[in-house]
Amino acid sequence: MSSDSLPNDREAALQKRKKDHIDICLNKDVEPHKALGSIWNKYSLPYRALPEVDLAKVDPSCTFMGRQIAFPFIISSMTGGEAHGRVINENLAKACEAEKIPFGVGSMRIINRYPSAAFTFDVKAFCPSVMMFANIGLVQLNYGFGAEELNRLVNTVNADGLFIHLNHTQELCQPEGDTNFEGLVGKLKRILPQIKVPVIVKGVGHGIDPESVRVLKEIGVRYIDISGCGGTSWAWIEGRRQSYEDEETNIGYIFRDIGIPTDVCLRESAELASGGDLHLIAGGGIRNGVDIAKSLLMGAEVATAAMPFLAASLESSDRVRVVLQRLKREFQLAMFTCGARNVEEFRKMKIIQRQHL
224-235 residue pLDDT tens = 999 999 888 888
Instruction: Please give the tally of structural domains in the chain.
Output: 1
- Mean pLDDT is lowest, of 74-83, 105-114, 255-264, for 74-83
Closest CA to 161 of 205, 80, 221: 221
Among residues 120, 127, 73, which one has the least CA distance to residue 98?
127
Query: Which CATH number covers residue 306?
Result: 3.20.20.70
Query: By mean pLDDT, which of 169-178, 272-281, 300-309 is the weakest?
Result: 169-178
CA distance 266 to 227: 10
Q: How far apart are CA 73 and CA 237, in angstroms?
A: 24
The Cα–Cα gap between 251 and 167 comes to: 15
Q: Using CA atoms, how far apart are residues 14 and 9, in angstroms rounded to an integer?
A: 9
Instruction: Give buried/exposed letters for 120-129 (b at 16+ CB in 10 A, else e).
Output: bbbbbebbee
Q: Please state, in angstroms and as integers, the Cα–Cα distance from residue 325 to each residue in 75, 95, 255, following that order.
A: 13, 10, 34
SS3 164: strand
Q: Is the pLDDT of residue 114 over 70?
A: yes
Which secondary structure element, helix H or strand E, spans residue 147, and what is its range? helix 147-156
Over range 275-283, report the average pLDDT.
95
197 within 8 A of 154, measured Cβ to Cβ: yes
What is the pLDDT averaged over residues 94-106?
Answer: 98
As a whole number of angstroms, the distance between CA 340 and CA 27 comes to 39
Helices and strands (DSSP H and E) totals, the chain? 14, 12
Amino acid type, 205: G
**Secondary structure of 41-93 as H, E, C letters:** HHEECCCCCCCCCCHHHCECCEEECCEEECCCEEECCCCCCCHHHHHHHHHHH
- DSSP character string of 118-133: GGGT--GGG-TTS-EE
Examine residue 63 and state whether it is found in any structural domain, yes or no: yes
Quick check: is 2 in a domain? no
pLDDT at 9 over 70: no
DSSP state of 302: E
Q: Is residue 35's pLDDT more than 70?
A: no
Confidence band (pLDDT; 50, 70, 90) for 182? Answer: very high
Q: Would 52 be classed as within a structural domain?
A: yes
121-167 tens-digit pLDDT: 999 999 999 999 999 999 999 999 999 999 999 999 999 999 999 99
pLDDT of 10 > 80? The answer is no
Q: Tell how strand 62-64 and strand 43-44 pair up.
A: unpaired
**Any domain includes 319:** yes
Contact partners, residue 38, CB within 8 Å, separation at least 6: 230, 285
Residue 158 lies in a domain: yes
Residue 103 has pLDDT above 80, yes or no: yes
Residue 181 domain-assigned?
yes
Closest CA to 205 of 229, 185, 183: 229
Please check whether residue 137 lies inside any domain of the structure: yes
Residue-number span of the structural domain to which 345 is assigned: 7-353
Handedness of CA 138, 144, 145, 146 (dihedral sign): positive
Whether 1 maps to a domain, the answer reads no
DSSP class of 354: P
Contact assessment for residue 99 and residue 328, using Cβ atoms and an 8 Å cutoff: yes
Segment 190-217, tens digit of pLDDT: 999 999 999 999 999 999 999 999 999 9
* Run of H or E including 318: helix 317-337
From the CB of residue 51, how many other CB atoms can be counted at a distance below 10 Å?
16
